[in-house]
Structure 1
Amino acid sequence: MTTTYRAPWPGLPPDAEPPAHRPEPHADERLHERLGDAVAAVDAPDTVFAVSRHGRRTVRTGGTAPPPPYPRETLRYEIGSAGKTFTGLLLARLMDEGLLTGGEPARALLDGGRPTGPEPVTLVHLITHTSGLPRLPPDFYARALPARRTNPYARYPGARVVDAFLRHRPRRRPGTRWRYSNFGVAVLGHALAAATGTPWPDLITGELLGPLGLGDTALRAERGRDATGHTRDGRTAVPAFDAGGFPAAGALRATPHDLLTFLEAHLDPGRCPPLAGALHAVRTPVLRRGLGHRHVHTAAWFRHPMDGGPLYFHSGATPGQQAFLGFRPDTGTALAAVCGRRYRAHDPFVTTAYNLLAEE
């Protein structure tokens, strides 16, 4: 199906009536066809491709599974590591408010203010994947092995994440090497909660989800509201994902419309004044790496050059679902794509979503 309508205002007060999602009589037929092709290419049980172009949304859904009881575009999907963009924006907001500088040593925040070494791991190191931490704690695999195909992270609670960080001794000086780390972003979440004296669910809800009007975004599953994930075969269902002690690294689940609202705020930061400074900040390059420094990162996004300007994106996956988020300020376009199957090799999902946004 296709729905095209003007985007809702993200900063509505709690008692305001949200705008109705009214279909436009003349949808962009070319975009409609391209989204349909993308859904077919992904070939997953449940798939949604949602595009916002200058505030006008077009959504195409489909899948190999029978239609669920509720429209696919109204279900919440696990977005995995794409949720790190929320964590990066949260850190940017706390810095913009003057509550943090980003240079605070994470160890001091998590270890009762005890003195740190001369080159500590800072909050900025954690969000930019330059902390020197591995992708996951060294003892994670042994604990997660019995549930590796279902909920491996659920077996590793927050206290253990913090303890593993406090025991870790980086081999390289923080800030000198980029290495993608779920461990590092999970530690950042616990450090931000400690710095503000606010539990992570309350912190991200109060500072981000509320101001942005993301009422259909949550950290935990809720029966009847969430899409079902599947393994590679597209038939075997997997349990709802439990991020355990890694909520800042990948616990969020959201509807495609909430994801578009999130992306539209990045395209037009002025639409959400409380977050405007942070939304501008996470579009600024903070790190370049690789041959010729071709790989550019912000505090929340991968950033690729296009002819008219940069493309920002991040993907994510859980054991049974996948997500891709991206936006292009030069074309006023945002894309949120989700699907209910996890590939592990020769994955068409991310490539299809990225190419769709790059060609807009």
Structure 2
Amino acid sequence: MRTAPGGPGIADRLADAVTRIDAPDVVLAVTRQGHRTVVSGGTALAPPTPRPALRYELGSLSKTFSVLLLADLAVHGVLSLDDPVTARLPRLPLGHPWSGRITLRHLATHTSGLPRIPTDLLLGALVRPYENGYSDYDTERLLRTFARTRPRHRPGTRWHYSNFGLALLGPAMGHTTGTDYPDLLTTRVLKPLGLTGTTLAPGTTGTDAIGHRSNGTTPVRSADMGAFAAAGAVRSTPDDLLTYVEAHLFPGSGPLAGALRTVRIPLLRRGWRHRNTHTLTWYQHPAARGPLLFHVGATFGQQAFVGYHPASGTGLVALATRRGRTCRMVTTAYELLYALAGDDG
């Protein structure tokens, strides 16, 4: 555990929150006006490598990295957010005219009309629920499936969460730049932000957190996301995620400043009575003195949460090696960030 001046109160609150999360390994970390506090725990014996030093799978939180990359390419004029995705991919024989109207912005904001995952992948998951169907799903198959998929609605008219849509951003950005998605993300996002502990592939033995099934004891192999890398392949350390959230809180004037500001702009409202706001990549909820922004993610054995409150300069990272509705990590992390947003100090 590390604390900074003014940090003991936050440390106590983090320690209390850790006890409310039912997971083998838990890390909660807060940055507040640049001062960091990290607390870890869990129901399992502590691993040989301290929990805060491990690298965790981010699942859908990876989407915020991919869309930040997309925003950076747009800021520098490499592409436009309103380009049709078909203009940024190899030529495809589209099976429905709506597919040609899907833009990069639609993919980023889940308004493309594409289903959550491709039908063939869904069918495989129903037959083999404990197997990772993403690992064998390559880019050629992804593009072929996109070409024959009929959007559920006209692009831009409804919000419908789609791993399928976000996955297409990877090959679209790669085809546009001539650089594959992992190298592009590393060069334009990870290195400029100094995220040396963040990767898209497993690390060496002992450095990666080991996920578990819902029973909390059965280990789960590392998640290979195949062609869905842009939607869920990033893995990172608590320290790197604090650096990542601090970059969003204080964009400054660095090479990603324009993109970091772009992804904070509210773009659409969704949900019951349109109460929920969405930026290019973050969920935005009202809070004291200004909105808080957040995103969550899960793989087959891990969960992740990152959120921040620009008005108070507060960011929160939560990571756990368990995926399950009884874990309470996401709820606990959100409630803690909301409470910290209302604090005066």
Equivalent residue, structure 1, for 2:57: 78
Q: Is the 8 A contact 2:92 2:147 kept in 1?
A: no
Equivalent residue, structure 2, for 1:353: 333
Q: Is the 8 A contact 2:23 2:327 kept in 1?
A: no
Q: Is the 8 A contact 1:150 1:239 kept in 2?
A: no
Equivalent residue, structure 2, for 1:17: none
Equivalent residue, structure 2, for 1:213: 194
Residue 90 to residue 96, structure 1, CA distance change in 2 (3 Å): same
Equivalent residue, structure 2, for 1:267: 249
Q: Is the 8 A contact 1:144 1:153 kept in 2?
A: no
Name the SS of the counterpart of 1:190 in structure 2. helix
Q: 2:20 & 2:199 partners in 1: Cα distance?
A: 28
Which structure 2 residues correspond to residues 202-351 of structure 1 after superposition, within 5 A?
A: 202-222=183-203, 223-270=205-252, 273-343=254-324, 345-351=325-331
TM-score (ref. length: structure 2): 0.93
Q: 1:171 & 1:320 partners in 2: Cα distance?
A: 30
Q: 1:209 & 1:277 partners in 2: Cα distance?
A: 16
1:109-162 CA-to-partner distances (Å, cap 9, x unmatched) read: 223388995761110110000000000001112334565324232132222111
Q: 2:128 & 2:211 partners in 1: Cα distance?
A: 15
Q: 2:173 & 2:129 partners in 1: Cα distance?
A: 28
Which structure 2 residues correspond to residues 79-94 of structure 1 after superposition, within 5 A?
A: 79-94=58-73
TM-score (ref. length: structure 1): 0.90
Equivalent residue, structure 1, for 2:35: 56
Q: 1:320 & 1:196 partners in 2: Cα distance?
A: 34
Name the SS of the counterpart of 1:155 in structure 2. coil
Q: Is the 8 A contact 1:76 1:255 kept in 2?
A: yes
CA RMSD of aligned residues (A): 1.7
Which structure 2 residues correspond to residues 6-21 of structure 1 after superposition, within 5 A?
A: none
Q: Is the 8 A contact 1:238 1:319 kept in 2?
A: yes
Q: 1:221 & 1:311 partners in 2: Cα distance?
A: 31
Instruction: Give the letter aligned to residue 192 of structure 2.
Output: P
Following superposition, the deviation at residue 195 of structure 1 comes to 1.1
Q: Is the 8 A contact 1:107 1:166 kept in 2?
A: no
Unaligned runs of 5+ in 2: 341-345
Following superposition, the deviation at residue 292 of structure 1 comes to 3.5
Residue 55 to residue 150, structure 1, CA distance change in 2 (3 Å): farther
Residue 114 to residue 141, structure 1, CA distance change in 2 (3 Å): closer
Name the SS of the counterpart of 2:119 in structure 1. coil
Following superposition, the deviation at residue 346 of structure 1 comes to 4.1
Instruction: Give the letter aligned to residue 9 of structure 2.
Output: R
Name the SS of the counterpart of 1:68 in structure 2. coil
Which structure 2 residues correspond to residues 181-196 of structure 1 after superposition, within 5 A?
A: 181-196=162-177
Residue 68 to residue 101, structure 1, CA distance change in 2 (3 Å): same
Q: Is the 8 A contact 2:125 2:131 kept in 1?
A: no
Equivalent residue, structure 2, for 1:3: 2
For residue 197 of structure 1, the aligned residue among 165, 178, 196 is 178
Following superposition, the deviation at residue 27 of structure 1 comes to 5.3
1:48-86 CA-to-partner distances (Å, cap 9, x unmatched) read: 001000000000011121111111101100010011111
Q: 2:91 & 2:149 partners in 1: Cα distance?
A: 17
1:285-319 CA-to-partner distances (Å, cap 9, x unmatched) read: 01112344211000110000112101000000001
Q: 2:327 & 2:50 partners in 1: Cα distance?
A: 25
Question: How many residue pairs align between the two structures?
Answer: 337
Q: 1:347 & 1:321 partners in 2: Cα distance?
A: 10
1:307-358 CA-to-partner distances (Å, cap 9, x unmatched) read: 2101000000001000000000111100010000110x34411100000000
Q: Determine if the alignment matches structure 1 residue 135 to structure 2 residue 116.
A: yes
Q: 1:98 & 1:114 partners in 2: Cα distance?
A: 28
Bigger CA drift: 67-76 or 316-325? 67-76
Instruction: Give the letter aligned to residue 76 of structure 2.
Output: E
Following superposition, the deviation at residue 28 of structure 1 comes to 2.2
Q: 1:331 & 1:148 partners in 2: Cα distance?
A: 43
Q: Is the 8 A contact 1:150 1:238 kept in 2?
A: no
Name the SS of the counterpart of 1:179 in structure 2. coil
